[in-house]
């Protein structure tokens, strides 16, 4: 089996298949360890921690536990506080740098399993197998496999991928707050877009969502002016005293309509790229990888062909509710909260108040943070 893309989702799949009879090869276009430059930090659900622990790829020293999440909107009433204590959990989730997550997964992948610096020329599929033609270290190679798994991250233009551009960019940076964060995360909705502060070591990992022109301006500011702009957006409850480097990411919802085709399957960001609000993207991709490994493990003793149409159909069915639920949850939040329309601001305030006063509603949101898909009835 061939996995195209050795990002966190592709590597998770390779590790989840380690005990299966399948021979798995991961290929990536970048050099090994290229993730070291990635500036993102990811909020990981408690359920994701459990899956990563089962793969011996949980990076304990790199994880900061989230004790509570404060959710509010700028310029409107209503707020809610979700605490781990209320759910008898050690944490609502964890924050970890992308690079630390990738390094922990990569440490469990052998050199024979990974072929970096590949550039794909073409993929041909047939009833019996699929063939991938690529260039590796200046030499052409042809690799034949029963199944090709696409885990190469956010797709470019592709007629099978539906795109909704949010007209927002995320600026990410690590900033030092005062007073100390005490493991509280903040999700603050502003007319520009959501602003998330995630505890990471002694700092906050900030995801500051703004329209593209404002993002370009924020990236050019000196550190002092950037911290002042962040304070202006966040409000007065915290001060920010230092910042690390900044990076920007354009945000869009990209949804692949068919996640399986003849001898091919798409997982992770390659299957769906979500807005980072409420930190669902990697958590969902992890469940894609886990479920594909489980589907293959269950079917292999009956059906030794990993790319058989019945196996792919079973996988696609198994992902339908989780994918649709996570996309609707994330997209709904972005569209409801990213505007300054007064009646909506009022309705949002009522919604936040209801979350605070009506525990079943709060439990629904909390369970989604803690478990992901299992929050759905």
Ligand X SMILES: Cc1cc2nc3c(=O)[nH]c(=O)nc-3n(C[C@H](O)[C@H](O)[C@H](O)COP(=O)(O)OP(=O)(O)OC[C@H]3O[C@@H](n4cnc5c(N)ncnc54)[C@H](O)[C@@H]3O)c2cc1C
Residues that bind ligand X (CB under 6 A): 4-10, 27-30, 40, 42-43, 118, 120, 151-154, 170, 172, 207, 249, 268-270, 276, 279-283, 285
Q: Could you give the CA distance from residue 147 to residue 264 in angstroms, rounded to a whole number?
A: 6
Q: Considering beta carbons, is residue 171 or 312 the nearer one to ligand X? A: 171
Q: Considering beta carbons, is residue 43 or 352 the nearer one to ligand X? A: 43
* DSSP 8-state secondary structure symbol assigned to residue 261: E
Q: Could you give the CA distance from residue 90 to residue 64 in angstroms, rounded to a whole number?
A: 12
CB 287 to ligand X: min, Å:
10
Question: How does 161-188 read in b/e, with b if 16+ C-beta sit within 10 Å?
Answer: beeeebebbbbbbbbbbeeebeebbbbb
CB 301 to ligand X: min, Å:
29
CB 4 to ligand X: min, Å:
5
SS3 129: coil
Count the neighbouring beta carbons within 10 Å of the beta carbon of residue 55: 20
Return the bridge partners of 162, or none.
255
Q: Considering beta carbons, is residue 28 or 174 the nearer one to ligand X? A: 28
Nearest in space to 40 (alpha carbons), one of 151, 231, 171? 171
Q: Considering beta carbons, is residue 78 or 289 the nearer one to ligand X? A: 289
Q: Considering beta carbons, is residue 103 or 120 the nearer one to ligand X? A: 120
CB 120 to ligand X: min, Å:
5
Q: Could you give the CA distance from residue 30 to residue 122 in angstroms, rounded to a whole number?
A: 18
CB 165 to ligand X: min, Å:
14
- Asked if 172 and 97 count as a contact pair (C-beta separation under 8 A), the reply is no
Nearest in space to 75 (alpha carbons), one of 356, 365, 332, 348? 348
CB 29 to ligand X: min, Å:
4
Q: Considering beta carbons, is residue 78 or 166 the nearer one to ligand X? A: 166
CB 270 to ligand X: min, Å:
6
When CB distances to ligand X are compared, the closest residue is: 7
CB 303 to ligand X: min, Å:
26
CB 34 to ligand X: min, Å:
6
Q: Considering beta carbons, is residue 169 or 345 the nearer one to ligand X? A: 169
Q: Considering beta carbons, is residue 299 or 366 the nearer one to ligand X? A: 366
Q: Considering beta carbons, is residue 76 or 148 the nearer one to ligand X? A: 148
DSSP string, 81-119: EEETGGGT-S-SEEEEEHHHHHHHHHTTS-GGGEE-SEE
Secondary structure in 3-state letters for 135-197:
EECCEEEEEEECCEEECCCCCCCCCCEEEEEEEEEEEEEEEEEECCCCCEEEEEEECCEEEEE
Count the neighbouring beta carbons within 10 Å of the beta carbon of residue 77: 13
């Amino acid at each position: 089996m061939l996995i195209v893309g050795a990002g966190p989702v592709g590597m998770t799949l390779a590790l989840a298949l380690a005990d299966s009879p399948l021979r798995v090869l991961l290929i990536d276009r970048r050099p090994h360890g290229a993730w070291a430059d990635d500036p993102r930090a990811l909020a990981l659900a408690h359920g994701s921690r459990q899956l990563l622990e089962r793969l011996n790829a949980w990076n304990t020293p790199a994880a900061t536990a989230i004790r509570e999440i404060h959710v509010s909107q700028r310029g409107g009433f209503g707020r809610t506080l979700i605490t781990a204590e209320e759910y008898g959990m050690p944490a609502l989730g964890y924050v970890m740098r992308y690079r630390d997550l990738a390094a922990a997964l990569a440490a469990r992948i052998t050199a024979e399993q990974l072929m970096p610096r590949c550039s794909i020329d073409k993929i041909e599929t047939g009833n019996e197998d699929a063939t991938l033609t690529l260039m590796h270290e200046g030499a052409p190679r042809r690799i034949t496999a029963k199944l090709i798994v696409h885990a190469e991250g956010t797709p470019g233009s592709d007629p099978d991928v539906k795109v909704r551009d949010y007209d927002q960019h995320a600026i990410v940076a690590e900033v030092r707050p005062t007073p100390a964060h005490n493991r509280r995360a903040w999700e603050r909705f502003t007319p520009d877009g959501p602003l998330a502060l995630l505890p990471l070591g002694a700092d906050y990992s900030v995801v500051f969502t703004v329209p593209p022109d404002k993002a370009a301006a924020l990236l050019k500011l000196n550190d002092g002016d950037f911290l002042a702009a962040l304070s202006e957006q966040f409000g007065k409850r915290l001060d920010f005293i230092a910042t690390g480097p900044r990076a920007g990411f354009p945000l869009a919802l990209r949804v692949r309509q068919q996640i399986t085709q003849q001898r091919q399957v798409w997982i992770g960001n390659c299957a769906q790229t979500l807005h980072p609000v409420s930190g669902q993207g990697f958590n969902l991709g992890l469940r894609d990888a886990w479920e594909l490994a489980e589907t293959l493990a269950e079917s292999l003793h009956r059906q030794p062909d990993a790319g058989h149409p019945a196996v792919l159909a079973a996988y696609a069915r198994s992902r339908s509710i989780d994918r649709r639920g996570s996309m609707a949850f994330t997209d709904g939040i972005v569209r409801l909260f990213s505007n300054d329309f007064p009646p909506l601001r009022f309705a949002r305030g009522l919604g936040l108040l209801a979350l605070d006063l009506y525990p079943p509603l709060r439990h629904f949101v909390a369970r989604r943070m803690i478990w992901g898909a299992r929050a759905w009835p």
